[in-house]
Amino acid sequence: MSGRTTLRRQVLAWVSIPLGILWLVSAYSDYDIAKRFVNVAYDRALLESALDIGRQVRVLRGRVYVDLPEVVVQMLRSRESGQFYYLVTGPDNEYITGEPDLKPSRTTPSGQAAYYDDSYLNHDIRVAVIKLPVETEDVRGQVTVQVAETLSPRTDLLREVLLRMALPQGLLAMLAAAVIWFAVGRGLAPLSALRREIEQRSHRDLSALSVTHVPAEVRPLVESTNGLLHRLSMVLAAQQRFIADAAHQLRTPIAGLRTQTELARRQTSPADVEAALAQLQTAAERTTHLVNQLLSLARAEPSAEHAQPMEKLDLDALAREVTTERVPRALARNIDLGFEGGDTTPAITGDDFLLREMLGNLIDNAINYTQAGGHVTVRLTHERDNLLLSIEDNGPGIPEAEREAVLERFHRVLGTGVEGAGLGLAIVSEIVTRHGGHIRLTSGHDNRGTLAQVTLPLAA
């Protein structure tokens, strides 16, 4: 799966982004909280040191001094907080003890502590200042005590606290990502099983996939796939049926052609040869007609749905043209072929070739089954959102019990005396269905003949 984006990786990526952002926000919040607590703790210790020094302030003979043994100073300087500095000044800001070059303190109210950051000897320091009152007979005023320490111990402690807080959170985020990776893998397990099922199937097996253990989110996809498999099976079944029917129907005329050819070769007189060749030509024409109908049927199949793009067509002009082309054939059979169209007929969306085939088959069928002296009428009317195409004849008609069957392939009404393969109306039915319409066969005027009514939707 390397080099390809998987659903598991996409989910992990999208979850890792907010997890990372939450971890950063949490780390910043932890840093801010830890910094406050560390500063409070160190500031309190710094203030205690200042108060301890302030308790050692003494006044002797009008002079203020700090009784601070050297051992105590060394203890203050050597504590874990780092380098320690202090400065004590008298009521008139005179130097008493400590680091004389430490910057003077800022103005601070009496009895209240103040804190600020500064620098001393190239070190960043934190300073605590408190002013303590001195009330004696000789001296009255305030003594300022400043204590300072470097910031490095605070920074080190803050870094350690932040590391101890952020590291577990980072590990938790990584654990959450691992759990998500595992959970997505378990969630996709039914898809893996489905993939294996498809891979192990034969190319002939188009049965529906099981949706029993498929997650609800994936079920629509599986159901759509099952719908596609069903349509594919129908198309393949139709193709297999077409091939079987074509092979069956072509077997007889081809055998007849072979027989007629062998018979013609045995003839010796020119008249007999001419008669045999005439029969051979007739058989060849019937075979050609059958092949053409089979090709038309194949083109009208649902599997050929996208073979030709649909376009807007004038069905009135198309029907008038096809009817005109059949006039000589109708006159040869002494049949009155007429056309009745509308003044303005809306367009439909369709395939020009298939609609011509549909019209030709309907008119040819009516002419073939109408007796000499009869009439065939092609009529086109407009009904709401549809066009109604009617082909009516006054021939023998189709028995009511067989009106649905004649729309099926290779079905012929017995006893008509008309030769054919029984494909004409089947082709018409396929083409009408292809164009979103429907066909209906009824009796003609005064219950005589046949009325074929085709309803087609208008163009959008």
User: 21-79, pLDDT tens digit by residue?
Assistant: 888 888 888 888 888 988 898 899 888 888 888 888 888 877 888 887 776 666 666 55
Identify the structural domains of the chain with CATH numbers, from first to last: 7-159 (3.30.450), 219-302 (1.10.287), 308-457 (3.30.565.10)
Q: Which residue has the higher pLDDT, 324 or 65?
A: 324
Q: Give the whole-angstrom CA distance, residue 376 versus residue 359.
A: 13
Q: Give the whole-angstrom CA distance, residue 417 versus residue 402.
A: 17
Q: Is residue 108 over pLDDT 90? A: no
How high is the pLDDT of residue 306?
Answer: 47
Highest average pLDDT, of 96-100, 120-124, 198-202, 331-335, comes from: 331-335
Would you say the pTM of this structure is higher than 0.85?
no
Which band of pLDDT confidence, cut at 50, 70 and 90, is reported for residue 249? low
At position 271, the amino acid (one-letter code) is: A
Q: What proportions of the chain, in percent to the nearest 5, are helix, strand and coil?
A: 50, 20, 30
Q: Give the whole-angstrom CA distance, residue 242 versus residue 237.
A: 8
Which band of pLDDT confidence, cut at 50, 70 and 90, is reported for residue 377? very high
Q: Map residue 203 onto helix, strand or coil.
A: coil
Answer for the pair 93, 103: CB distance below 8 angstroms, yes or no: no
Q: Give the whole-angstrom CA distance, residue 449 versus residue 397.
A: 4
What is the percent of the chain where pLDDT is above 70? Answer: 83
pLDDT digits (tens, 9 = 90+) for 180-218: 888 887 777 777 787 788 888 877 788 888 877 777 777
How high is the pLDDT of residue 79?
Answer: 53
Q: Is residue 124 over pLDDT 70? A: yes
pLDDT digits (tens, 9 = 90+) for 287-312: 776 676 666 666 666 555 545 677 88
Look at strands 375-383 and 336-340 and give their pairing.
Answer: parallel
Q: Average the pLDDT over 98-127 and give the result.
A: 82
How high is the pLDDT of residue 181?
Answer: 83
How high is the pLDDT of residue 279?
Answer: 75
Name the nearest CA neighbour of 453 among 402, 407, 421, 396: 407
Q: Who's near 5: CB < 8 A, 6+ residues apart?
A: none
How high is the pLDDT of residue 293?
Answer: 63
Q: Average the pLDDT over 128-149 and give the result.
A: 85
* Average pLDDT value for the chain: 80
Q: What angle do CA 115, 119, 124 make, to 5 degrees?
A: 85
- Written as one string, the DSSP assignment of 54-121 is HTTEEEETTEEEE---HHHHHHHHTSTT--EEEEEE-TTS-EEEE-TTSPPPPP--TT-EEEEEEEET
Q: Is residue 1 over pLDDT 50? A: no
Answer for the pair 232, 203: CB distance below 8 angstroms, yes or no: no
Please name the helix (run of DSSP H) or strand (run of DSSP E) that holds residue 50, with its range, or none.
Answer: helix 7-54
Q: Which residue has the higher pLDDT, 406 or 178?
A: 178
